[in-house]
C-alpha cells in the first residue's frame, strides 16, 4: 500500500562562485544541515540519491560523486544512486527518493544536489550546456536556431554564452509575436525576483534592480539582457525524507508532506499530444495530488531566463495561455500577491548551479510551509508547487519534475 513521504529536514549552502571549495565541502555542508534539521544521525539514512550534472567536465569527478561525498561524512554500505538529468538532476533525485519511501522500501532516504559549475575557463562551463542537447545533431540544431535570430549570422551559442540563452531567447520572441508580451514584461520578472532574492541570505545576488535597470543592462541574446539570465555558480542542497511510520516514531510536528512528484520527459513531435512536458507533468501532478492550480499558495519554478517564468505561468495552469504577463501587471506573483512565485529569488537571483537547483527549490518551499522564510514568508502558506526542467530535445525540455508539497503541522 502506497504511503506519503514526509520531508523531515532540509539544508543548503549559499549559492555563488566558490573557486576555493570542492564538491565534498559544499555537499557536506548541505547534508549535515539537513540531518540536523531532521534531528537524525547519519547512521539512520538507509539510501541516498545524489544529484550532480557537471562535475565530470568541471572537476573531473565522474561516476561515484555520491559515494565520495557520503564516505567523507562517514556514511557507507547503504545503496547510493548517482543521478544526472540535466537541470532537473536533483529534482529527479528527490522524486526517486520520494517514490522509494512511498512504496515502502525505506524509512529514511537522503536526496541531495551539488554542483561546481563556475570555472575560470568559461568554455568549459558552456560545454556542460552543449551536452544537454542531442550532440549528434548540433550542426542542424544551430542552423535551426540561426533561422530565428534577430540578426542573421550573429550567433555565439556555446562559444561566448550558454546555448540555452539562445534557446530561451527564441522562445521569448515567439511568445512576444504570438501574445504581445514585451521586453518590459520580462524585465518585470527580473525586478520582482531581484527583490525576493534581496531577502534570501543564500542568494547569489542580493541587490535590488528596477525594471529600467534590467532593460538598460547589456544584451546577451535579444531580447534577453544580463539580469534576465540565470548566473553560473556553485552550491548544494539536501533533503531528508521519512516514511509516515518514521515520522510518527520521531514525533515530527512540522514535516512537509509530498502530495505528488511527477517526472516526465519531453516528447515533441510524437503526435500523442500538443501538451508541452511542463503542461503534462503539471497536469499529472495536480491530478495525483487532487488539487487545482487555484489552490496553490506559493511556487518555485525554473526561471533560467525571465521569459521562462512567464511561459511557465501558462504551462502550469497558473495563467491562461497568453495571459502570463497580466499576472505580473497585477502583482499576483510577487510577495503579498495572490500566488507568489520564486520567493527565493528564483534561478535568476538565487543562482543556478544546475545539479543543486531542484533540491534548492524544495528547500525554499519547505521553509515557506514551515513558516521559516523570514522576511520573504508567504503568510498562511499551506500548499506549494515546484517545477524544475532541464535539457532540450526537439522543441521541448528533455526532463521536467513537478512536485506538490503540503504543510502538515505548526511552524517552528
Write phi, then psi, for 256 (nearest 5 degrees): -115, 125
Residue 271: pLDDT over 70:
no
Are 352 and 360 in contact, with CB atoms under 8 Å apart? no
| pLDDT: which is higher, 68 or 147 | 68
Q: Give the 3-state secondary structure of residue 8.
A: strand
**Which of the 8 DSSP states describes residue 78?**
S
- Span 257-279, mean pLDDT? 83
Residue 156: per-residue pLDDT: 56
The confidence band for 409, taking pLDDT boundaries of 50, 70 and 90, is confident
Instruction: Out of 202, 312, 352, 366, pick the active-site residue.
Output: 352
Write phi, then psi, for 341 (nearest 5 degrees): -120, 135
The confidence band for 155, taking pLDDT boundaries of 50, 70 and 90, is low
Please tell me the distance from the alpha carbon of residue 334 to that of residue 412, in angstroms, as a whole number: 24
Alpha carbon 279 to chain centroid, angstroms: 16
Highest mean pLDDT among 12-26, 114-128, 138-152 belongs to 12-26
Please tell me the distance from the alpha carbon of residue 144 to that of residue 276, in angstroms, as a whole number: 19
Query: Which segments of 217-372 does DSSP mark as H helices, in order?
Result: 244-250, 277-289, 306-315, 324-330, 346-350, 354-369
Please tell me the distance from the alpha carbon of residue 190 to that of residue 305, in angstroms, as a whole number: 9
Residue 146: per-residue pLDDT: 76
Instruction: Out of 87, 229, 312, 366, pick the active-site residue.
Output: 87
Residue 153: per-residue pLDDT: 47
The confidence band for 154, taking pLDDT boundaries of 50, 70 and 90, is low
The confidence band for 274, taking pLDDT boundaries of 50, 70 and 90, is confident
Please say if 196 is a catalytic residue. Answer: no
The confidence band for 138, taking pLDDT boundaries of 50, 70 and 90, is confident
- Span 17-37, mean pLDDT? 97
Residue 394: pLDDT over 90:
no
Residue 362: pLDDT over 90:
yes
Q: Which of 3.10.20.30, 3.90.1300.10, 3.40.47.10, 3.40.50.10800 is the CATH number of 5-120+232-407?
A: 3.40.47.10
What are the grid coordinates assigned to 317, written together? 495552469
Report the mean per-residue pLDDT for the chain.
94
Residue 345: per-residue pLDDT: 98
Please say if 119 is a catalytic residue. Answer: no
Contacts of 352 (CB under 8 A, 6+ apart): 87, 117, 230, 231, 232, 233, 304
pLDDT-above-70 percentage for the chain = 94
Are 199 and 374 in contact, with CB atoms under 8 Å apart? yes
Please tell me the distance from the alpha carbon of residue 235 to that of residue 25, in angstroms, as a whole number: 10
Q: Residue 236 half-sphere exposure, CB side, CA atoms within 13 Å? A: 27
Where is average pLDDT lowest: 37-41, 153-157, 303-307, 337-341? 153-157
Sheet of 256-265: strand order equals 80-83, 47-51, 108-116, 234-243, 5-12, 256-265, 396-407, 383-393, 298-300
The confidence band for 3, taking pLDDT boundaries of 50, 70 and 90, is confident
Are 86 and 391 in contact, with CB atoms under 8 Å apart? yes
Nearest to 149 by CA among 170, 163, 165, 131: 170
What are the grid coordinates assigned to 262, written together? 511527477
pTM metric for this prediction = 0.95
Q: How far, in Å, are 229, 286, 289, 332 from residue 380 at the CA level?
A: 31, 20, 20, 16
Where is average pLDDT lowest: 108-122, 212-226, 289-303, 398-412? 398-412
Please tell me the distance from the alpha carbon of residue 333 to that of residue 379, in angstroms, as a whole number: 14
Please tell me the distance from the alpha carbon of residue 185 to that of residue 183, in angstroms, as a whole number: 5
Q: What tens digit of pLDDT does each residue of 58-78 get?
A: 999 999 999 999 999 999 999
Amino acid at each position: 500500500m502506497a504511503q506519503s513521504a514526509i520531508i523531515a529536514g532540509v539544508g543548503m549552502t549559499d549559492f555563488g562562485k566558490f573557486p576555493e571549495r570542492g564538491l565534498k565541502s559544499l555537499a557536506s555542508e548541505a547534508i549535515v544541515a539537513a540531518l540536523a534539521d531532521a534531528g537524525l544521525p547519519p547512521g539512520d539514512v538507509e539510501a541516498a540519491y545524489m544529484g550532480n550534472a557537471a562535475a565530470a567536465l568541471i572537476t573531473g569527478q565522474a561516476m561515484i560523486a555520491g559515494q565520495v561525498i557520503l564516505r567523507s561524512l562517514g556514511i557507507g554500505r547503504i545503496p547510493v544512486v548517482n543521478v544526472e538529468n540535466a537541470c532537473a538532476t536533483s529534482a529527479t533525485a528527490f522524486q526517486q527518493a520520494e517514490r522509494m519511501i512511498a512504496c515502502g522500501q525505506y524509512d529514511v532516504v537522503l536526496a541531495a544536489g551539488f554542483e561546481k559549475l563556475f570555472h575560470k575557463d568559461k568554455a568549459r562551463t558552456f560545454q556542460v550546456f552543449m551536452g544537454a542537447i542531442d550532440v549528434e545533431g548540433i550542426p542542424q540544431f544551430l542552423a535551426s536556431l540561426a533561422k530565428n535570430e534577430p540578426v542573421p549570422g550573429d550567433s555565439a551559442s556555446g562559444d561566448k554564452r550558454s546555448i540555452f540563452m539562445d534557446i530561451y531567447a527564441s522562445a521569448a520572441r515567439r511568445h512576444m509575436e504570438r501574445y504581445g508580451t514585451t521586453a518590459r514584461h520580462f524585465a518585470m520578472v527580473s525586478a520582482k525576483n531581484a527583490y525576493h532574492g534581496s531577502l534570501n541570505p543564500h542568494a547569489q545576488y542580493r541587490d535590488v534592480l528596477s525594471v529600467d535597470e534590467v532593460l538598460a543592462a547589456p544584451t546577451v541574446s535579444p531580447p534577453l539582457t544580463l539580469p534576465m539570465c540565470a548566473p553560473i555558480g556553485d552550491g548544494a542542497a539536501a533533503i531528508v525524507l521519512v516514511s509516515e511510520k518514521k515520522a510518527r516514531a520521531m514525533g515530527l510536528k512540522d514535516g512537509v508532506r509530498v502530495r505528488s512528484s511527477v517526472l516526465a520527459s519531453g516528447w515533441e513531435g510524437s503526435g500523442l499530444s500538443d501538451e508541452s512536458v511542463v503542461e503534462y507533468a503539471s497536469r499529472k501532478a495536480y491530478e495525483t495530488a487532487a488539487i487545482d492550480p487555484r489552490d496553490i499558495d506559493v511556487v518555485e519554478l525554473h526561471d533560467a531566463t525571465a521569459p521562462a517564468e512567464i511561459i511557465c505561468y501558462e504551462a502550469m495552469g497558473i495563467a491562461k495561455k497568453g495571459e502570463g504577463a497580466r499576472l505580473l501587471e497585477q502583482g499576483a506573483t510577487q510577495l503579498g500577491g495572490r500566488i507568489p512565485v520564486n520567493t527565493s529569488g528564483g534561478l535568476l537571483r538565487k543562482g543556478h548551479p544546475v545539479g543543486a537547483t531542484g533540491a534548492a527549490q524544495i528547500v525554499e518551499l519547505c521553509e515557506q510551509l514551515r513558516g521559516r522564510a523570514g522576511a520573504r514568508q508567504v503568510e498562511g502558506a499551506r500548499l506549494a508547487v515546484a517545477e524544475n526542467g532541464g535539457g532540450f530535445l526537439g522543441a521541448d525540455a528533455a526532463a521536467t519534475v513537478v512536485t506538490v508539497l503540503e504543510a502538515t503541522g505548526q511552524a517552528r
